[in-house]
Structure 1
Amino acid sequence: MTDKALGDRIPEFGQPKAAGQAGMSGGLSGVGIQSTQEMVAVIAVAVLMVGGAELLLRMFEVPAFIMPTPSSIIAVFFSDEVPVIATHAGHTLVELLSGYAIGASIGLMLAALITQFPFAEKIITPYILLLVTTPMLALVPLLILNFGFGYAPRIVAVALACGPMVMINAATGFRRVDLGKIALARSYGASTLQIFTKIRIPMAMPMVLVGLMMGAIFGLITAVGAEMAGGGFGLGSRLTTYSSVIRMPEFFACILILALLGILIYLLFFWLGKRLAGWES
């Protein structure tokens, strides 16, 4: 039985075939604090970096409008500005979660479709490549023109940014299945659906998780960029506002929140990788 008969030709998406696996191993399985000593070392480095930055900024008397001290940034989280920032952070999360749910769902469905129907791959892939190579932020003004200044254009931008990432990695994972396992399953009378759910999905889980993680990160970046372009609400809008009135402590406080969101996304998929794809390590 040939590869063509099995429908297992690996699709070409314009990226190295080993990149996804390497990214999966390094991103989901190969990193993590394993001991108390490592935890202490990480905390010590963080304290040295923050303390060193505080000392140098004070020593050279760097103006706050150029670079605020870490202490002034932390002080923002104990000021009256917290409710305002929290409200805008909530808007950003709504945009991210809504757009991500739509984009990731469509990406997974398209990945399954082109895996099972090679002809569909030839039709869909050029448009997916077009979306991948087109910066979604460039489309935000057009989306605002069509959908207004509410959530809709930002959610659409996030969905368009994360969907192709999920699809590419998931489809690559679905294709990278041992042909011998599929041939054996078919020799026992397994249907296409059974092969997909019992063999392809479990074996592709590491790549699927990588796609979901990349999609979430790209979605967060796109959401913030769309807020900066559209204004009104969201952490991106706050960044624009604070920079325009030279409130740098609040500006960097928003950046810190966004950085923490990115770290939480990584930790979530790291945990899922341990639970669902720990066998690969």
Structure 2
Amino acid sequence: MSDISQTGSAGVATPAGLTGGMGGQGAREVAAIIGVAVLVIGGGELFLRLMEVPQFILPTPSAIAAVFSSPEMAMIIQHYSYTLIELVAGYAIGASIGLFLAAVITQFPFVEKVITPYILLLVTTPMLALVPLLILNFGFGFTPRIIAVALASGPMVMINAATGFRRVDTMKIALARSCGASAMQIFTKIRIPMAMPMVIVGLMIGAIFGMITAVGAEMSGGGFGLGSRLTTYSSTLRMPEFFACILILAVTGITIYAFFFWLAKKLAGWES
């Protein structure tokens, strides 16, 4: 299971990356980022206008920006709220179960051997492939989407949290035991604080996977949610609205990262 845990956490983010990745940015770096964004957006606007690319193929940035002040934006926001409900509910369930299982398998190796095959099955199976089956059993409401989000986010949280719980210095644990500390005291006073960077990484990855799964599940059917809007706009060639939804999802993903970056600085700043 430890090999799985290392693989699951390696390619996406690291504890040090969350706690110290952006702290050293100065004013010049921020200005450079803004400058590049202005050049890309302005250059894209100019290129699309000069090449006279039709809006139904690739809209200009100004056309996308106009959507945010159009009457259609009220409907987009309403469907976005449905997506957030699915994400928050499914993520809360999945993350809670993931943290609980990570704690259990860390304390009881036998349990780890029993549930490892099922965790492997969840990690390697695309949850979007199960959405039609969930819809068939639970209908087109929130329930199948929330279940899909929970199944997608839970294993990611569990893998990274379990990795963090195991990476604690064994000398510290041995010293605590020699002082008469119980297993619960060792877990709460040593394992959890020392594992906090990896736990936060797992929570971040789980939230991002949950958002992707929620949008994908909405595209599979149901008629509501931002994913459903993406399907509608693409099928009717309303590309400005389509890219406006994409932009909202991108900002949501950045917000998720920024929140957990802030949380890591608060709870695991010592890692940097």
- Category of TM-score, reference length = shorter chain: over 0.9
Indicate yes or no: 2:152 matched with 1:150. no
Q: Is 1:232 paired with 2:220?
A: no
Aligned length: 272
> Is 1:21–1:207's contact at 8 Å kept on the other side of the alignment?
no
Letter aligned with residue 99 of structure 1: G
Unpaired stretches in structure 2, ≥5 consecutive residues: none
SS in structure 2 of the partner of residue 230 of structure 1: coil
- The 1:142–1:22 alpha-carbon spacing in structure 2 relative to 1, beyond 3 Å, is closer
Alignment partner of 1:183 is 2:177: no
Q: 1:76 maps to which residue?
A: 67
Query: In the alignment, residue 106 of structure 2 is paired with which amino acid?
Result: T
Kept in 2, the 8 Å contact 1:92–1:223? The answer is yes
Q: Is the 8 A contact 2:141 2:222 kept in 1?
A: no
String of CA shifts for 1:183-236, please: whole Å, max 9, x gaps.
000000001010000000000001000100000000000000000002310000
Report whether the alignment pairs 1:202 with 2:170: no
Q: Deviations over 1:240-272 (max 9, x none)?
A: 000111100000000000000000000001101
Q: Distance in 2 between matches of 1:221 and 1:18?
A: 18
Letter in 2 for 1:44: G
1:31 corresponds to: 22
In the alignment, which residue of structure 2 is the partner of 1:11? 2
The residue type equivalent to 2:37 in the other structure is A
Q: 1:20, 1:210 within 8 Å by CA — same for their partners in 2?
A: no
Q: Give the match for residue 84 of structure 2.
A: 93
Instruction: After superposition, give the CA deviation of every residue in 1:144-188 in whole Å (9 maximum; x if it has no partner).
Output: 001100000000000000000000000010011101000000000
- Describe the shift of the 1:218–1:231 C-alpha distance in structure 2 as closer, same or farther (beyond 3 A): same
Task: Call closer, same or farther: CA 1:15–1:244 in 2, change over 3 Å.
Answer: same
CA distance in 1, matches of 2:230, 2:262: 31
Q: Any stretches of 5+ residues in structure 1 without a counterpart? A: 1-9
1:58 and 2:49 correspond: yes
| In 2: Cα distance, 1:22 partner to 1:64 partner | 37
Q: TM-score, normalised by structure 1?
A: 0.93
Change in Cα spacing, 1:37 to 1:247, as seen in structure 2 (3 Å) is same
Aligned to 2:259: 268
CA distance, structure 1, for counterparts of residue 12 and residue 55 of structure 2: 44
Contact 2:59–2:240 under 8 Å retained in 1: yes
Query: Is the CA contact (8 Å cut-off) linking 1:140 and 1:226 kept in structure 2?
Result: yes
**Residue of structure 1 in register with 2:38 after alignment:** 47
Aligned to 2:131: 140
Q: Residue 17 of structure 1: CA displacement?
A: 8.7
* Identity between Structure 1 and Structure 2 (%): 73
For the aligned residues, what is the CA RMSD?
1.6
Q: Which residue of structure 2 lines up, in the alignment, with residue 105 of structure 1?
A: 96
Does the CA contact (< 8 Å) of 1:100 and 1:159 recur in 2?
yes
AA aligned to 2:175 is L
- 163, 172, 192: which one pairs with 1:172? 163
- SS of 1:153 mapped into structure 2: helix
Distance 1:131 1:203 in 2: 27
- Report if the CA contact (8 A) 1:182-1:195 is conserved: yes
Partner in structure 2 of residue 251 of structure 1: 242
Aligned counterparts of 1:94 and 1:172: Cα–Cα separation in 2? 29
TM-score by length of 2: 0.96
- Residues 226 and 245, structure 2, Cα contact 8 Å, conserved in 1: yes
Q: Contact 2:19–2:271 (CA<8 Å) still a contact in 1?
A: no
Corresponding residue SS for 1:13: helix
Report how far residue 82 of structure 1 moved: 1.0
Structure 1 residues 276 and 90, CA, compared in 2 at 3 Å: closer, same or farther?
same
CA distance in 2, matches of 1:89, 1:144: 20
